[in-house]
Structure 1
Amino acid sequence: MAQKSKITQLDPRVRAAVDDAIREGRATIDEIVLLIRGMGGEASRSSVGRYVKNAAAQLKQYRDAQEIAKAWVGRLNAQPEDDVGRMLAEMFKTLAMQTMAQLGDDEQEGPAQPMELMLLAKALDHLTRSQKTTVDRAVKIREALGAKLEQLEGEAKKGGGLDVATIQRIREEVYGIAA
Structure 2
Amino acid sequence: MPRNRPSSIEQLPADILQKLQALLRDPRVNQLDATRRINGILAEQGHDERVSKSSVNRYAVRMNEVGERMRQSRQVSEMWIAKLGTEPEGKMGRLLNEMLRTLAFELTEKVMASELSEETLPGVIEQIKNLSLTSMRLEKSLSESIKTEKEIRKAFAEEVAAETEVVAKNAGLSAEAVQTIKNKILGIAEK
Choose 1 or 2 for highest CA Rg: 2
Q: Normalized against structure 1, the TM-score is what?
A: 0.57
How much does 1:136 deviate? 0.8
Partner residue in 2 for 1:145: 156
Q: Normalized against structure 2, the TM-score is what?
A: 0.54
Asked if 1:35 is matched to 2:37, the reply is yes
How much does 1:15 deviate? 2.5
Asked if 1:6 is matched to 2:14, the reply is no
Is the alpha carbon distance of 1:36 and 1:177 closer, same or farther for their aligned partners in structure 2, counting shifts above 3 Å? closer
CA RMSD of aligned residues (A): 4.8
- Give 2:68's match in structure 1, choosing from 60, 64, 86: 60
Write the deviation string for residues 119-141 of structure 1: whole angstroms up to 9, x where unpaired: 11110001100111112112212
Is the alpha carbon distance of 1:37 and 1:107 closer, same or farther for their aligned partners in structure 2, counting shifts above 3 Å? farther
Greater per-residue helix proportion: 2
**What CA distance in whole angstroms lies between the structure 2 residues aligned with 1:121 and 1:103?**
14
Most deviating of 124-133 and 98-107: 98-107
* Structure 1 unaligned blocks of 5 or more: 76-81
Write the deviation string for residues 10-36 of structure 1: whole angstroms up to 9, x where unpaired: 2345334422331124323x5444333
- 1:120-131 map, 5 Å: 120-131=131-142
**What CA distance in whole angstroms lies between the structure 1 residues aligned with 2:128 and 2:74?**
25
Identity of paired residues, percent? 16
The count of corresponding residues between Structure 1 and Structure 2 is 163
Task: Confirm or deny: 8 A CA contact 2:150 2:189 kept in the other structure.
Answer: no
Asked if 1:115 is matched to 2:118, the reply is no
Is the alpha carbon distance of 1:102 and 1:53 closer, same or farther for their aligned partners in structure 2, counting shifts above 3 Å? farther
